[in-house]
Amino acid sequence: MGRKILVPIDLSAYSVRVLERARLILREEDEIVLLHVVLDPSAFAGFHIPHLSTELARETLLQEATKSMERFVARNAPGTVFRISFGIPFKEILAAALEEEADVIVIGSHQSSGRMERLLVSHASEKVIRNAPCDVLVVPLPIQSEEELFRRTMT
Question: Which amino acid appears at position 106 of this protein?
Answer: V
Total number of domains constituting the chain:
1
Predicted local confidence at residue 121, as pLDDT: 46
Predicted local confidence at residue 75, as pLDDT: 96
Predicted local confidence at residue 155, as pLDDT: 45
CB 76 within 8 A of CB 18: no
Predicted local confidence at residue 122, as pLDDT: 55
Predicted local confidence at residue 50, as pLDDT: 59
Residue 15 falls in which region: left (phi positive, over 0), alpha (psi -120 to 50) or beta: alpha
pTM: 0.81
Predicted local confidence at residue 117, as pLDDT: 46
CB 3 within 8 A of CB 104: yes
Full domain range(s) for residue 67: 4-154
Query: Each residue's pLDDT tens digit in the chain (155 positions)?
Result: 899 999 999 998 899 999 999 999 999 999 999 999 998 766 555 555 555 567 787 888 999 999 999 999 999 999 999 999 999 999 999 999 999 999 999 999 876 555 544 444 457 888 999 999 999 999 988 865 555 555 544 44
Predicted local confidence at residue 55, as pLDDT: 76
Q: What is the CATH number of the domain that holds 63?
A: 3.40.50.620
